[in-house]
Chain A
Amino acid sequence: MAAKAASTPTTYSPSPTTQKTKPSFFKNDNVDWVRPDGRGFHQCRPAFFRTGAVNAAAGSAYAEFGNTKVIVSVFGPRESKKAMMYSDIGRLNCNVTFTTFATPVRGQGSDDKDFSSMLHKALEGAIMLETFPKTTVDVFALVLESGGSDLPVVISCASVALADAGIMMYDLVTSVSVSCLGKNLVIDPVLEEESYQDGSLMLSCMPSKYEVTQLTITGEWSTAKINEGMQLCLDACSKLAKIMRSCLKEAASASED
C-alpha cells in the first residue's frame, strides 16, 4: 500500500510563517493606523445570520462576521443521560469544535476546551431552564473558519440557534470583544490584531434587559479602560441584537408563507 505511510511522516506547511514581531505601526501610539480590513477602531464587521442551516437539528444557525464562519446546532430538549440524577430544572450542554482547516496552520484549534465551558456560562443565565425539567438541551458549535473574535460570534450564533429551536429564553445573548493594542481599543478584532493584542475584554449581555451574562478580561486594564471597553461592547451588543432579531423575524415570516 504505497499511498499511506506506515507512520505518519512529519510535514510542514509551505505557507510563509507569520511574523513574530509586531509591525511598527502597532507600536507607535501616536500615529493613526488603518486596520487590516480598513475599519475604524470602533467599527464592527458586518454581521450575517441565517437560521435553519442544519435540517437534522431542532434549531440551527449559520453566522458569518468577515472571515469568521460558524455553524451552531441545537438539539432538544431531549432525554438526559440515564446516569444523571433527577433534576427539576433542565440542563444545558455545550460543545465547540474547530475544523482542521479553520486556522491558517492545519489542526491548531487548541482553544476548544475553554470555549465549550465559556459558551455554557454565557448562555445559562439567559435560558429558562425551568421550562424543560429532567431533559437536556444540547448546543453544538462548529467553527468553519477562524477569522478573529471567534467565541463572541459563537455565542451570538448560539442564541439565534436557540431561538430557532424554540427554547425559551429571557432575552437573546449577544457578545462582542474588544482588543487593547497599546493605547487604543479596537472592537471586534481580526486574527492578526488578536495575535498582537496586549489584552482583551469579551462581554456577553442580554441587551433588552441591560444585563451582563459574562465578562472576560485578559491582560492589564485600568478601571477607566475597563469602563470604556464595556461601554463600547454594550453599544455594539444592542446593535447586534437588532440584526439578530430581524434575521429571526425574516425566517419566521418566510415560513408562514
Chain B
Amino acid sequence: MVSQLYAHEQKQDGGLGMGHSNASGDLSSEMEVDAFRRLFPLRFYEHHLAESIRPDGRALGKARDTTIELGAVASADGSALAKIGLTTMLAAIKMEVMTPSKESPDEGCIAIDFHMPPICSPLVRPGRPAEAEPVVSKQLADTILSSGMIDLKDLSLVSGKAAWMVYLDIYCLDADGSLFDAALLSAIAAFSHLQIPVVSMNDDGKLIVVSEENGEKDIVNKEKRKLSLNRIPFSLTCVLHKNYILADPTAEEETIFETLVTVVLDTFDQLVYLYKPGGLVLAFTSSVQDCIALTRQRLKELQKILDESVSGMEVD
C-alpha cells in the first residue's frame, strides 16, 4: 500500500512538491497523497508502520540527525545550539553572584528556564505561553537537578558570603517534536562549554570579573574555570501506538499519536527520569523496557556527538 501511495514519485525525478511541466496527473496524485495525509493521518501512518517505516524514511527506532554547536552566543559564559532534525534549541548560561542561604552556605544555585517564543511554532501566541512550555521547563529542572550532574558545592566562591547563581535559559527556535530531548541536549552542551569567569574581590566587598585594569589582586577562584560534569543525563522520547514504538517523534507524529514516553538515563546506565503522562495506549512492562533499550542506544549516539563537539572546541 505504501508503494501505491508513492507510485507517482517514480514518474518524477524531483522530490515531493516539485511541479513538473508534464502530467497534471502527477500533480493531482501528489495532492491526493497530501490530502490523504491531512484527512486521514492515522491511516496514512498505519500504512507506513505496517512496512516498518515512517513517512520521512526513518526506521521506527531511529532518531533524526542530531547536531550540536558550542559557543553560539558569544556574550554568554556558556552556550550551545542543538538540533534534532528540524527542532532547534538555543541554550545560554549567564553566571551571577549571590549570597548563599544559611542552610547551605557552601552551595550555589541553578535557575533553569525554558522559553518558547512565538517564532518557533504557529501554535504559540505572543503573551500566552505555549502549553508545552511550563511542562518542559519543570521536566528540565527536575532532570538536571536530580541527576547529580553538577555538584552545587562547585559553585561556591566564598563560603557563606558569595556563590554562583547559574542562569540557564533555553529558547526553542523551531519546534518540530521532541522538545524535551533537544532542550536537555542543548542544556548539557552549554554546561560542557561553560567557562566560569575569574573574579576578584574589590574594595566594596563585591566580586568583579578580572580584567587588565583591576589587576590580579584578591582573586577568589583562580583554579576553577570549568565545571566537572559527573553523571550526564541523556533522553529519548518515544510515542506508542498499538504494538509500535516510534522513537524521536516529529510534531506531526506527536499530534497523531498522543501517548508518549520519555526515558532519561545517565552515563552509568542509571534511570534518572521516566515520564508517561497518560495517553490512550497503556504501556506494558515490555514496552517500557523496549523504550529503555532504545534510550540506551541513543545515549551512545548522543555521547559520541557531544564528545566530538567538545573536543572540536578544545582544539580551537
Contact A100 B126 (CB under 8 A): no
Of all chain A residues, the one with the shortest Cβ separation from B100 is A9
Fill in one digit per residue for A85-114: 1 if any B CB lies within 8 Å of its CB, else 0: 000000000010101110010100000000
Complex contact A56–B126 (CB within 8 A): no
Question: CB distance B118 to A97 under 8 Å?
Answer: yes
Q: Does A18 contact B (CB under 8 A)?
A: no
Note all chain B residues with C-beta closer than 8 A to A67. 74
Which B residues from 200 to 228 make CB contacts under 8 A with A? 206-209, 211, 213-214
Asked whether, in the complex, the Cβ of A56 is within 8 Å of the Cβ of B122, the reply is yes
A140 touches B73 (CB 8 A): no
Asked whether, in the complex, the Cβ of A11 is within 8 Å of the Cβ of B96, the reply is: yes
Bound Cα distance from A218 to B145, whole angstroms? 47
- Chain B CB count within 10 A is highest, among A9, A72, A97, A144, for A9
Contact B126 A95 (CB under 8 A): yes
Contact with A along B247-270 (1 / 0, CB 8 A): 000010000000000000000000
For window 1-31 of A, CB contacts with B under 8 Å fall at 1-5, 8-16
Inter-subunit contact A12/B119 (CB<8 Å): no
A66 to chain B, nearest CB (A): 12
Report yes or no: B122 in contact with A100, Cβ–Cβ below 8 A.
Answer: no
B119 and A142 contacting across the interface, CB-CB below 8 Å: yes
In this assembly, does A155 line the interface, its C-beta being within 8 Å of a C-beta of chain B?
A: no
Give chain A residues whose Cβ lies under 8 Å from the Cβ of B152: 2-3
B104 touches A2 (CB 8 A): yes
The answer to the question of B139 belonging to the interface, with a C-beta cut-off of 8 Å to chain A, is no
Within 8 A of A (CB), among B280-316: none
A234 interface residue (CB < 8 Å to B): no
- Say whether B73 contacts A145, CB under 8 Å: yes
A138 at the B interface (CB under 8 A): yes
Beta-carbon contacts of B160-177 to A below 8 Å, as 1s and 0s? 000001010101011110
Contact of A75 among B86, B122, B165, B207 (CB under 8 A): B122
Decide if A56 touches B121 in the complex (CB within 8 Å).
yes
Chain A, interface residues (CB within 8 Å), range = 35 or more
Query: Using Cβ atoms and an 8 Å threshold, which residues of chain B touch A106?
Result: 94, 96, 167
> Which residues of the other chain, A, contact B206 by a CB distance below 8 angstroms?
12, 14
CA distance A216 to B251 in the complex (A): 42
Q: Is A159 an interface residue (CB 8 A)?
A: no
A8 near B111 with CB under 8 A, answer: yes
A42 to B235, CA, bound (A): 51
Whether A3 contacts B98 by the Cβ 8 Å rule is no
Contacts of A99 in B (CB 8 A): 90, 92, 115, 117, 169, 171
Most buried by A among B86, B97, B119, B199: B119
Contacts of B90 in A (CB 8 A): 99, 144
**Interfacial residues, chain B to chain A (CB-CB below 8 A):** 73-76, 79, 86, 88, 90, 92, 94-99, 101, 103-104, 107, 109-111, 113, 115, 117-122, 126, 141, 145, 152, 165, 167, 169, 171, 173-176, 197, 199, 206-209, 211, 213-214, 251
| Top 4 closest pairs, chain A to chain B, by CB | A73-B119, A140-B118, A11-B96, A95-B126
Write 17 A-B pairs (CB below 8 A) sorted by A numbering.
A5-B109, A9-B98, A9-B99, A11-B97, A11-B98, A11-B165, A13-B97, A14-B97, A16-B208, A56-B120, A57-B122, A71-B119, A99-B90, A99-B117, A140-B126, A142-B173, A145-B75
